[in-house]
Amino acid sequence: AKAPQHVVEEARSKFKEFIAEDNRFEKARVLNLIQRSGLDSERIILYSRMGLHRSVLQVYIHSLKDYRAAEKYCIDTGRDNQNLAHNKYNVEEGKEGEDASRPTRAVLLNMLLKLYLEPGEDAKDGASPEFLSESLKHLLGNHTSQYLDPVETLRLIPDDTGLPALKAYLEGVLRAAVSRRRTAMVASKLVRAERFQTQVRYLEVKRKSFTIDTKTECAVCRKKIGDSYFSAHPPENTLHPTKMLLPSAKWVIVHKGCSKKYSDRKRAGRGGVSNVLHVR
Ligand SMILES: [Zn+2]
């Protein structure tokens, strides 16, 4: 007598739960036992836990004939692909660990692509060429294709493929490349603007301070300042011969005794004296 349907289903779901979570059984042995049993989703669980992703995809395609599920597996199981658009920037440090051993979405999807394009022995009792070409069309034609590595994909796809899906895929790749370039351009402009602002800020800070050492000379009499009292005249924008106003960061240091002379000279030059700092 056959067990009623619901009993079989309950047992199967308990078994699935067990092989998905238990850590003490020998996965390879159980896999061997159910290999020819038609328990495809159970085989997928075991293959996946053993890191045999290619076998998982084979079951999806050749046994279950479900390319949507195969794609979903690549997306769900694969490490965030860094979307390939932002490849180098998305590497989150410290988030490695168990993640590091997991393949990326691009690697898994590449496996899937190979399964479609180079089925070889796998397809003997499996999916028909028609089904494989339909699967390929689906993969290239939906949002999942953004996680494919374009270079790898083009290497795999034979030159003589007259596939409309390929054309659409390539157009998508190009569009992404253009927008990536645009993003990079904006980023580099931002960096340049930031660098300029840093220079300005540096200049401003420099304008607020001056240094004086044993070699500092008085701007009026050209003798060393040494230990004597001195005046420090803050930098002023200087008028370049080309009539361009240039910011200057240079303080003028003079002996205190020479300070009046300096001010007179400056007043004669171009009226008005800025605040003078008298320091010992
Ligand atoms: Zn002097």
List pLDDT tens digits, range 191-236.
776 676 666 666 666 677 777 888 889 988 999 988 888 888 877 6
Q: Which of 95, 129, 157 is the last residue of a domain?
A: 157
Output the CA 268–ligand 1 centroid distance in Å.
Answer: 18
- Is 40 a domain residue? yes
Output the CA 249–ligand 1 centroid distance in Å.
Answer: 21
pLDDT category at 272 given cuts 50, 70, 90 is: very low
Output the CA 194–ligand 1 centroid distance in Å.
Answer: 41
Q: Residue range 73-90: average pLDDT?
A: 66
Output the CA 266–ligand 1 centroid distance in Å.
Answer: 15
Output the CA 247–ligand 1 centroid distance in Å.
Answer: 25
Together in a domain, 12 and 143: yes
Output the CA 209–ligand 1 centroid distance in Å.
Answer: 21
Output the CA 210–ligand 1 centroid distance in Å.
Answer: 18
Output the CA 256–ligand 1 centroid distance in Å.
Answer: 7
* pLDDT exceeds 70 at position 135: yes
Tell me the percentage of the chain whose pLDDT exceeds 70. Answer: 69
pLDDT of amino acid 112: 93
Distance CA 124, CA 215 (A): 89
Together in a domain, 18 and 143: yes
Together in a domain, 11 and 140: yes
Together in a domain, 11 and 132: yes
Q: Distance from CA of residue 82 to its chain's centroid?
A: 6
Output the CA 129–ligand 1 centroid distance in Å.
Answer: 95
Output the CA 231–ligand 1 centroid distance in Å.
Answer: 10
Together in a domain, 115 and 9: yes
Together in a domain, 244 and 153: no
Output the CA 251–ligand 1 centroid distance in Å.
Answer: 15
Output the CA 199–ligand 1 centroid distance in Å.
Answer: 33
Together in a domain, 261 and 148: no
- Is 186 a domain residue? no
Output the CA 252–ligand 1 centroid distance in Å.
Answer: 11
- Is 143 a domain residue? yes
For residues 278 and 38, the model is more confident at: 38
- Is 214 a domain residue? no
Q: Which of 157, 185, 202 is the last residue of a domain?
A: 157
- Is 141 a domain residue? yes
* pLDDT exceeds 90 at position 19: yes
Together in a domain, 11 and 112: yes
Q: Which of 105, 134, 157 is the last residue of a domain?
A: 157
Q: Residue range 52-78: average pLDDT?
A: 94
Together in a domain, 146 and 258: no
- Is 208 a domain residue? no
Segments forming the whole domain that contains residue 94:
5-157
For residues 24 and 185, the model is more confident at: 24
3-state secondary structure 207-248: HCCCCCCCCCECCCCCCECCCCCEEEECCCCEECCCCCEECC
Q: Count structural domains, the chain.
A: 2
Output the CA 222–ligand 1 centroid distance in Å.
Answer: 6
- Is 217 a domain residue? no
- Is 24 a domain residue? yes
Q: Among 257, 184, 180, which Cα is nearest to 218's?
A: 257
Cβ contact 73:139 at 8 Å: no
List pLDDT tens digits, range 146-191.
888 877 777 777 666 666 667 777 777 777 766 776 666 666 666 7
Together in a domain, 109 and 242: no
Q: Is 258 helix (H, G, I), strand (E, B) or coil?
A: coil
Output the CA 212–ligand 1 centroid distance in Å.
Answer: 14
Q: Distance from CA of residue 77 to its chain's centroid?
A: 20
* ipTM entry: 0.94
Classify 31 in phi/psi space as left (phi over 0), alpha (psi -120 to 50) or beta: alpha
Least confidently predicted of 71-75, 138-142, 150-154, 175-179: 175-179
Percentages helix, strand, coil for the chain, rounded to the nearest 5? Answer: 60, 5, 35
Together in a domain, 20 and 137: yes
Question: Which residues, including other chains, have CB under 8 Å from residue 117's CB and lie 6 or more apart?
Answer: 132, 136, 156, 157, 158
Output the CA 219–ligand 1 centroid distance in Å.
Answer: 7
Output the CA 221–ligand 1 centroid distance in Å.
Answer: 4
Output the CA 156–ligand 1 centroid distance in Å.
Answer: 80
Together in a domain, 36 and 134: yes
Note every long-range contact of 211-216, with CB atoms under 8 Å and residues 24 or more positions apart, other chains counting: 212/253, 216/253
